Amino acid sequence: MMGKGATASAPGRDTTTIEVTLPGRSYPIDIGEGLVATAGERIAATLPGARCAVVTDANVAALYLAPLKESLEARGLFLGDAVVAPGEASKSFPVLARLSETLLKLGVERGDAVIALGGGVIGDLAGFASSILRRGVRLVQIPTTLLAQVDSSVGGKTGIDTPQGKNLIGTFHQPNLVLADIATLSTLSEREFRAGYAEVMKYGLLGDAPFFSWLEKHWQQVFSGEGPERLKAIDTSVRAKAAIVEADEREESGARALLNLGHTFGHALEAYAGYSDRLLHGEAIAIGMNLAFDFSVAQGLCPPEDEARVERHLAKVGLPSKIADIPGKAPTPGQLLRLMAQDKKVQGGKLALVLVRGIGQAFVERDVPPDTITAFLKKECGAD
């Protein structure tokens, strides 16, 4: 699933580079091991003259800030760092304001770069700050979670959350370089890795049925990381994301909206759970994708056996698939519908969903009847 301009090369041992080509500009995504410790060399070559301020969270800082700082200092690139609290709560206006002021105090100038070292929260927050600081400074993404490596670090979406919903305030601000060091995945908890795997699954479910079939056979090796399968899964996912971003950078043609498979349901569930450890993003997306298949089956669009395969695979890897799998009190259909109405794909008050005609056959339905979705949610929430 490599798009136009998405080419691969091998700048170093066991490192792959995927180029994202956009009108008038492009940027490389390096995937391999040991990239945190050699980041200074790669940044100096890609962004000559740029000094760097690192944004990370307390958990990631304890693991990877020191080797990154050493690599940057060896090239005279290090301006300083800003460390925020871990978790989705840091994607907020107050944290964004404090972070922006800190970056200015560190002396970040127009030609410098902000480095986002961490998972999706840090990537979104630091990316947003870099997009508004001095009306836009350069950005390097160093994702340290599976979810961030295969999804959120690529494509230029940045944002923060509000009580109304997830990522409703943000910008498009493409990175200048992405360094996906797969060695960092060894420090993830099993739960965090599983949550990231939901986004890997997504690429098979939305447009690559053979990849999903491959995952059904090789998911255990992807999880263990003991063979080449983990790198193949990440590489395939990043190529799919790059191709879609190249085709539709700002969700204008509709192709990029396919990346939201499961996200309209999932983001509503995340908001209901208070953006907490009660429900991680990838867990919400796993439930959301299964709901999208369930809804598609109910509408006569998708064969029931395809939905059964999706649910069976989620169960095998240990991911939730039903609203009832969320700990605590279940949401009401009305609560979910109100949260879904805040989705960024809503136009003219009409709810849009990414639906499927089968595994690997996703499409966008832009006028879902409210009565139909309400009846479906009643069934799924156990309210009928």
Q: Per the residue annotation, which of 42, 202, 241, 313 is the catalytic one?
A: 241
Determine the 3-state secondary structure of 214 from DSSP: helix
Cα dist from 243 to 47, 176, 197, 204, 323, whole Å: 24, 17, 20, 14, 32
Q: Residue 74: how many CB atoms within 10 A of its CB?
A: 13
List Cα–Cα distances, 5 to 14, 19, 22, 134, in angstroms. 21, 7, 8, 30
The question of whether 42 is a catalytic residue gets the answer no
CB 244 within 8 A of CB 255: yes
Q: Which of 173, 194, 202, 281 is catalytic?
A: 281
Q: Which of 69, 166, 267, 313 is catalytic?
A: 267
Task: Answer yes or no: 135 catalytic.
Answer: yes
Query: Do 281 and 348 touch, CB atoms closer than 8 A?
Result: no
Q: Which alpha helices (DSSP H) does 248-280 contain, by range?
A: 263-272
Would you call 218 a catalytic residue per the annotation?
no
CA torsion, ordered 115, 119, 125, 130, to nearest 10 deg:
20
Strand ranges in the chain using DSSP code E only, listed in sequence order: 8-12, 15-22, 25-32, 52-57, 78-84, 113-118, 138-143, 160-162, 165-169, 177-181, 353-356, 362-365
The active-site residue out of 4, 13, 25, 135 is 135
Active site residue 263: yes
Active site residue 229: no
What are the tokens at 283?
């867990």
As given in the structure block, the two tokens for residue 234 are 């990440």
Is 251 designated active site?
A: yes
Beta-bridge mates of residue 56: 83, 117
- Residues 51, 202, 263, 313: which is the catalytic one? 263
Instruction: Please identify which of the residues 88, 229, 249, 251 carries the catalytic annotation.
Output: 251
Give the phi and the psi of residue 114 in degrees, each rounded to 5. -95, 135
Reply yes or no on whether 199 is catalytic. Answer: yes
Q: What is the DSSP string of 169-207?
A: E--B---SEEEEEGGGGGGS-HHHHHHHHHHHHHHHHHH
Q: Catalytic: 267?
A: yes
Choice among 167, 202, 229, 260 that is catalytic: 260
Q: Any idea what the Cα angle at residue 364 is, between residues 362 and 365, rounded to 5°?
A: 125
Indicate which residue of 199, 249, 283, 311 is catalytic: 199
Catalytic hit among 256, 309, 313, 344: 256
Which one of the listed residues 42, 157, 173, 344 is annotated catalytic?
157
- Indicate which residues carry an active-site annotation: 135, 157, 199, 241, 251, 256, 260, 263, 267, 281
